[in-house]
Chains A and B, each alone.
Chain A
Amino acid sequence: MELNGAQILVKALEEQGVDTIFGYPGGAVLEIFDALRESSIRQILVRHEQGGAHAASGYARALGKVGVCVATSGPGATNLVTGIATAYMDSVPLVFITGQVAKAMVGTDAFQEVDITGITSPITKNNYLVQNVQDLPKIIAEAFYIAKSGRPGPVLIDIPRDVSMAKCQYNPYRNVDIRSYKPTLKGHPTMIKKAVKILGEASSPVICIGGGVINSGCSAEVQEVVELTGAKVVSTLMGLGAYPGNSQTFQGMLGTYGNKAANLAVQSCDCFLALGMRFDDRVVGNPEKFAPEAQIIHIDIDPAEIGKNIPVDVPIVGDLKNVLQDIIKLLKKDHKVRKTINFPNRNIQINEGLNAPWVLRNLQRVAPSNTIVTTDVGQHQMWTAQHYIFNQPRTFISSGGLGTMGYGIPAALGAQLAMPESTVVAITGDGSFQMGMPELGTIAELELPIKIVIFNNNTLGMVRQLQHYYCGQRYSFVDFKKTLDFMMLAKAYGAEGLRIEKEADVTDVFKETFANRKFTIVECPINSRDLVNPIVLAGNGLEEMV
């Protein structure tokens, strides 16, 4: 049967198991939206393409599937850029489809023309400008394969309008084989043996879990390695939830804003097993002072990450699940199972009162156990990472690498659509909230029971905190005058608005928040002088916390 390019695209998306797309229509994608209407794929009309990209990311991260977002040419495409870059830094499998002006007009600065493949080449795993309608099935199959295999990441397909309109026979394309792209899945046996030897002989090993553990789905294997080695576990921001946060062996997040116990464990360990992480500057502090006593084993599916920021003793390229299974086999064979070590309880002191850590504790107490938390970027993000306990993978969704304010609300939208039964809470600040605001309209329209918790200090708190430490407490251009009435805003969007006025309200407000399945905005005022503590200042080792 002859189909047009748009219909072929939709067929191919169905073939890939896509059930939901986020998008915003426009001139260059009219055919695509027209074809989508005939399909079973659910379409979510967002209010800004940036929100669409983030929502697709929230969807992908909550579900472990490829997220899809469609936008028109020109501003539609450029509006995606921040979302694409965010997904790229956090290795989220996404496929973006953008419309482009007709082929004959490409390069003429036509209406709503922009070189989106040129723009996005630094922030996508791969991108395509489709020249020929016959190529579409192959390109789409490749795009999905590239997005989700190896180290996942975003892929963009730019489709000129005449390609969407051109007709041809649809032949499904199933056997993807790209000669220039073959991810290594099995670890090298010699390296694995070396790793096992170090792990087996270490007296104070630390295992650090990164986002790769979630992408590879190997939480069970990690637990087994922990049991076999008696290691302490620390996590990067991206790894939170991949290992039960309520376990005795878990020491919390490491890094600049890490938990004290975690940072101390890293600095004193004799073996550091890094799983699917990339030794980001926010994770290691001063690279020269990082884990000075430790032999470092680094397992990652992306060979380019190994040795990029930190020299390692044992590099292993491969899929974590495979490699860990091999390690477990050898550990069991060659080494005695250790006694479980009882680590001292990592108790974090929190002062009672209207401060974010204490409010977050209370939020956690009241929130249902199936809660998925998304955050925005700033102080509230670090407080959440430090004090909210995540026990399941894919229950914490946050922009780590790019640190994109405005991520939390659209990501919550995507996560809620992915997991309709779950409770989704977006924890945000007043600055980030305003960047993600357009999607309030989408949440309201779809009547999603998302709970947004705003820590309002009327300032860009994290920047203010950096000015506190690095600029001799000179605060410049961070204060928002009180220009926004959040409760009235909630009304404008038909949401429940709840405000925490005093300490005693906290439990009741959160009980009310979770009592129903309504879209709710909770505002919690906090002091603008509150700081995220502890913090490792620039140039210091992780043990030098203030």
Chain B
Amino acid sequence: MKHTLAVLVENHPGVLSRVSGLFSRRGYNISSLVVSETEDSSVSRMTIVVDGDEKIIEQVTKQLNKLIDVIKVSDVTHDETVDRQLLLVKVNADNSAKGEIAQLMDIFRARIIDIGKKSLIVEATGSEEKIDAIIKSLQPFGILEIVKTGTISMVRGAK
């Protein structure tokens, strides 16, 4: 099962390689990883989605905790969280298809952000399921290129 780990780390060079090195060294599987600065510029936050059973996740958490540069690890899988991915997708679109795509994207509250002669680019944010659904809905038109981020999560409430 997929677990989402929120990891606070020191924001300095080399930390990412320590974390990714740990995963490859111990044979853990990263599904996605997002890193960015937090409200405190000396701290970065990694959102790591890992595939594995409880035993593996426990080891991952413990091993991450052993890294000196890791400040805090929380498994937010079972917490109430808001999860988002960002998607950019370039789709084949002649003039007739453009309207159809625009309508379709409205349903998902996705936006068309660039229109070319025979293609357009759609931008969307949402949970992994929503993003997957958008991609599926665009497939019949012919997808030329996809870029998407991993999941970022935030725990709801005052915490």
Contacts and interface: CB of A to CB of B under 8 A. Distances in A.
B24 A118 contact: yes
- Chain A interface secondary structure, helix, strand, loop or mixed? loop
A107 B27 contact: yes
| Most central of A106, A117, A118 by chain B CB within 10 Å | A118
B21 A106 contact: no
Contacts of A107: 25-28
A225 B25 CA distance: 50
A544 interface: no
Interface string B3-42: 0000000000000000001001111100000000000000
A191 to B, nearest CB: 32
Contacts of A117: 24
A115 B18 CA distance: 13
| Most central of B25, B26, B28 by chain A CB within 10 Å | B25
B109 to A, nearest CB: 38
A106 B27 contact: yes
Nearest to A129: B24
Interface residues of A, number: 5
Interface string B119-149: 0000000000000000000000000000000
- Chain B interface secondary structure, helix, strand, loop or mixed? helix
Contacts of A106: 26-27
Contacts of B25: 107, 115, 118
A107 B21 CA distance: 11
Contacts of A118: 21, 24-25
A115 B27 CA distance: 11
A115 B21 CA distance: 9
Nearest to A106: B27
Nearest to A103: B27
Nearest to A122: B17
A118 B23 CA distance: 11
Interface string A106-139: 1100000001011000000000000000000000
A342 B21 CA distance: 58
Contacts of B26: 106-107
Contacts of B21: 115, 118
A106 to B, nearest CB: 6
A199 to B, nearest CB: 42
Nearest to B59: A107
A502 to B, nearest CB: 56
A122 B24 CA distance: 15
A191 B2 CA distance: 53
A253 to B, nearest CB: 36
| Most central of A107, A117, A118 by chain B CB within 10 Å | A107
Nearest to A114: B25
A118 B25 CA distance: 7
A117 B24 CA distance: 9
13 contacts: A106-B26, A106-B27, A107-B25, A107-B26, A107-B27, A107-B28, A115-B21, A115-B24, A115-B25, A117-B24, A118-B21, A118-B24, A118-B25
Interface of B: 21, 24-28
CB-based closest 3 A-B pairs? A107-B26, A115-B25, A107-B27
